[in-house]
Amino acid sequence: MPMHLRAKKLTELLIDEIKVLIEADSLQPGDKIPTEQELMRIFKVSRTCVREALSVLRQEGIVDIIQGKGTFLKKHYTPLPNIDDPTSSGLAHFMESRKIIESSLARLAAKRASKTDLEALEDSLRTLEADGIDAFPEKVIQADLDFHYLLARSTGNPVLLHLLQEVDSHLQAGRSTTITFPQGRKKALEGHRRVLEALRKKDPDEAALQMTRHIEEIEKAQRFIAVLQTSPDKKRTE
């Protein structure tokens, strides 16, 4: 791997680790985060890597860097909810955000998607319904992602695509588990078909409605599969 790619990956990992550190230490808006030297010691990385990570965090609106004073959490910074905490409403907030973003994207796609875009979406559905696809979970996951991201790209709005990918990154574990169950894949395929049909008709309201319906069905399937995975019968067979 080229040196600059390794450096980029390390910086991205450090950014994630600093975010975890901020949440683990329960830092409040306006609080000072560890110094460059402290971050170098904690994560065993170079000063260059730390500065690049902090620069990105500043661009993302998470920190303020004040010359001679240090780095501070933005006064209006709000940490993302913990999606893994069953006592919190974190998952519900992420799913609500996904529905809002994806229904808006579907509405725009119904107005803007080209013939080429629609053909690409159809190709992703062919992959998802191919015989024997359940034996290749990574292909199922990729085909599902392809449909949603191709639809987002067809709007021509890279900001909305970025927002979707950011929210989606927090939902991948549960989503991947659901889509790789044969029932989950079939339910997703049905939803994708309805959305695509609305796009072909250039019906923004119907496209938004079907996308919302699709996500709600996947939510329901996800809850059902989670119950199956934690049922006493399953535990006895493990």
Q: Where are the domains of the chain?
A: 3-73, 90-237
Distance of CA 79 to the CA centre of its chain: 16
C-alpha span between 131 and 126 (Å, rounded): 10
Q: What is the pLDDT of residue 155?
A: 98
**Is-above-0.75 flag for pTM?**
no
15, pLDDT greater than 60: yes
3, pLDDT greater than 60: no
218, pLDDT greater than 90: no
C-alpha span between 21 and 161 (Å, rounded): 27
Task: Provide the H-helix boundaries in the chain.
Answer: 3-24, 36-43, 47-59, 90-112, 115-128, 137-154, 158-169, 172-179, 182-200, 204-229, 232-237
Task: Provide the H-helix boundaries in 65-157.
Answer: 90-112, 115-128, 137-154
Looking at the domain that runs over 90-237, which CATH code has it been given?
A: 1.20.120.530
Q: Buried (b) or exposed (e) across 179-206, using 16+ Cβ within 10 A?
A: bbbeebbebbbebbbbbbebbeeebbeb
Q: Contact 150/117 with Cβ under 8 angstroms? A: yes
According to DSSP, the residues that pair with 71 across neighbouring strands are 65
Closest CA to 216 of 185, 191, 193: 191
H or E stretch including 202?
none
In angstroms, the Cα distances linking 70 to 13, 23, 57, 200 are: 22, 19, 14, 54
Measured from the Cβ of residue 2, the count of other Cβ atoms closer than 10 Å reads 7
Supply φ then ψ for residue 26, to 5 degrees: 55, 40
Q: Please determine whether the domains at 3-73 and 90-237 fall in the same fold group of CATH.
A: no
CATH 1.20.1600.10 fits 3-73, yes or no: no
HSE-CB at 42 with a 13 A cutoff on CA atoms is 14
pLDDT in tens, 80-106: 776 666 556 878 888 899 999 999 999
Question: Greater confidence, 5 or 159?
Answer: 159
C-alpha span between 204 and 113 (Å, rounded): 11
